Amino acid sequence: MQVYRELRILTARPTPEEEVSVPHRLYGVLPAAEACSAARWRNLALTEIAEAHRSGRLPILTGGTGLYLAALRRGLSPIPDIPERVRKETRERFATLGNAAFYAELSSRDPLSAARLNPGDTQRLMRAAEVLAATGRSLFAWHSEPSAETAEQRLAFYTVASMPERMLLRKRIEARFTKMLAAGAVEEVCALLALKLPPDVPAMKAHGVPELTRYLAGEISLDEAARLAVVVTGQYAKRQFTWLRHQVQKDYILEEQYNGSSTPAILNNIRHFLLTLPD
């Protein structure tokens, strides 16, 4: 979500001052009207990694979206391009049926995908449905296909996982959303809504956007919007923990919330890692 230029506050992008202090890439590089897929981000990231190496810099990737990190490191499954006609029909089908009925239909036709997807994740539900319609195969059957080219074949990764205690993390999420509101998150959503984007574009589903949209429509109070946004973010963090625990080989684990005191140990480990790499 941090690639969308209209969502600086709600995606907790680096501040302008932070961006000046250290070179940052791929923050705010796309308009919210565009959808950034894992494949597109992977290509952009590989380009920036190569440029960092040419400049003699160590590229550091930050974030929590497991799919994107996995796509970068291991490549993507060779799913054929989906015809625009199929995409359109899938969107229309979703609009006709609604979320619950669409998920039930997908469950009957593709139980493998339905079992692995959140019933409320409309973007991925439609993706699974359009892949099935276009190829006759489950999205997750395609995911099991090996990628022809992976970044890990030519790049070395050192992975630091921040996995603090859950209650501490929940408090940090609450405090961060309070700061977001003070920094102008409501106004940011107002500006986003003024663009009149389709409701299914990814930017419209960023944590806090649906909840503050309901507040602006007079459906709920600001306190309730904040409470719901914190709950949704906490649920996402829980899924991140599960993914980190089971899907990632971790070189260094931070069992507390990251702070400056952690930096020397991390840097020392990274230096050791770099010194032991083959030429």
Give the chain's domains with CATH numbers.
Answer: 16-76+148-275 (3.40.50.300), 84-143 (1.10.20.140)
Cα–Cα separations (whole angstroms), residue 79 to 142, 153, 183, 221: 6, 21, 41, 43
Asked whether 128 and 117 are in contact (CB, 8 A), the reply is yes
Question: Alpha-carbon torsion 204, 25, 39, 253, what sign?
Answer: negative
**Nearest Cα to Cα of residue 34 among 182, 149, 202:** 202
Q: Could you tell me the pTM of the whole model?
A: 0.78
pLDDT in tens, the chain (279 residues): 999 999 999 999 999 899 989 899 999 999 999 989 888 999 999 999 999 999 999 999 998 788 888 888 888 777 878 888 998 999 999 999 998 999 999 999 999 888 888 888 888 899 999 999 999 999 888 877 766 667 777 888 999 988 888 888 899 999 999 999 999 999 999 999 999 998 888 999 999 999 999 999 999 999 999 999 999 999 999 888 888 888 778 888 888 777 778 889 889 999 999 999 887
Exposure string (b/e) for 221-230, b if CB count within 10 Å is 16 or more?
eeeebbebbb
Q: What is the pLDDT of residue 139?
A: 87
How many residues are there in the chain? 279
In the block, tokens 């309730």 appear at 224
Asked whether 124 and 117 are in contact (CB, 8 A), the reply is yes
